[in-house]
Amino acid sequence: MSYYGHHHSPARPAGKPFFALMKAWGAGLVVLMLTSYLQIAHFYETFATPERLESFGGVLWLVHLPNAVCIALSVWVAARVHPEPYRDSPVRHMSAAFAVPVAAQLVSYTIAAGLPWRDLGALSVAMSLAVLVVGCVAGYFGDRLRADG
């Protein structure tokens, strides 16, 4: 028992779980914003041409795969930053890892739905969701490999 009458067990530090989530979300957000900027400003501008973006394969390699990498890195960093005692709860740990990319996807849909020239077709939504799932699974798997190794 501490001086103030609170019990502090070695398994649970005195910090709050919400602050641990915020720390992970902040790290994930910074990584997602930075990698997305690099993807758009450097990779996309360098390699994407109208001819390359006419085919499904071109869009897959130049848009969707880099998006999945950005999401995977964001998830991986958020999961790595999430502190150890709170990582034991799968729900908390997955919330720490997946919240930023899922929120970014929802914001993206909300913005795109409000633009009159943007058509959110079924294929576009399906590919975006597939990219989100692939990126989240890859980032989380990377964290689990690192944690288990």
23 near 81, Cβ under 8 Å?
Answer: yes
Sorting pLDDT into bands at 50, 70 and 90, what band is 115?
A: low
What confidence tens digit (pLDDT) does each residue in 63-113 have?
Answer: 889 999 999 999 999 999 999 889 999 999 999 999 999 999 999 888 877
Q: What is the domain partition of the chain in residue ranges?
A: 17-148
Q: What 3-state class would DSSP assign to 115?
A: coil
Distances in Å between the Cα of 102 and the Cα atoms of 43, 50, 88, 95, 130 are 23, 29, 22, 10, 12
Instruction: Give me 130's structure tokens.
Output: 């597939």
